[in-house]
A and B are shown apart, each in its own frame.
Chain A
């Protein structure tokens, strides 16, 4: 479970090089119709991949991960990331916010034993 913060989003912007102002500047984000800054979809995917890597027994075993970005995540939102076994070398992944909405859908991973 991760509660997103502006600091974490800013840290990801810096670390990833994705400094799109919709992630950093509330005024800019509102000017394009958002409620304020939102988390990078790739930050959500990164956290999901960390959870998937633990389930796979190590990040070097991860061979594939795919997601659909289905919902916005704003600072203060709490998202539960889960990886469930789905057969040999496969994981079903979910990311659900505090309202019960899936923010990432169609999410799967494959790994080698």
Chain B
């Protein structure tokens, strides 16, 4: 298997539509009137960039053997409903130990001017 630490993926733009926010808030028991729920970052940050990693033949991540082990989100500012955000994914580290592969995947999300909004850090464990 190829270790792909340091690999970066092209920026992805995503518009935070009101209907999507309302449906997401309802699913997690949040009040949609409070704006974009913090973990909607699972969609606008992690959700738009992780498929780039999973679809990368050279990264060779076997989705069927993948466990999402840890997740962290950090915000400088929460995006607004209707705002367009830009996310860039990067493989922060990629290590194998005792037959398990540990891929740390970091996504930096900014507003359209480039000001930071959110950083997502996901740890994926891939069983061999």
Residues of A within 8 A of B (CB): 2, 8, 11-12, 14-18, 32, 41-43, 45-47, 49-50, 53, 58-60, 62-69, 106
Residue ranges of B at the interface with A (Cβ–Cβ < 8 Å): 20, 23-24, 26-30, 34-35, 37-39, 42-43, 47, 64, 67-75, 78, 121
Q: Which residue of A lies closest to B72 (CB)?
A: A66
- Nearest residue (CB) in B for A49 is B39
Count of chain A to chain B residue pairs whose CB atoms are closer than 8 Å in the complex: 95
Q: 24 pairs across A/B with beta carbons < 8 Å?
A: A15-B23, A15-B26, A16-B24, A16-B27, A32-B64, A43-B27, A45-B71, A46-B24, A46-B37, A46-B39, A49-B37, A49-B39, A50-B28, A50-B30, A53-B34, A58-B34, A59-B30, A59-B37, A60-B35, A62-B75, A64-B75, A65-B38, A66-B73, A67-B71
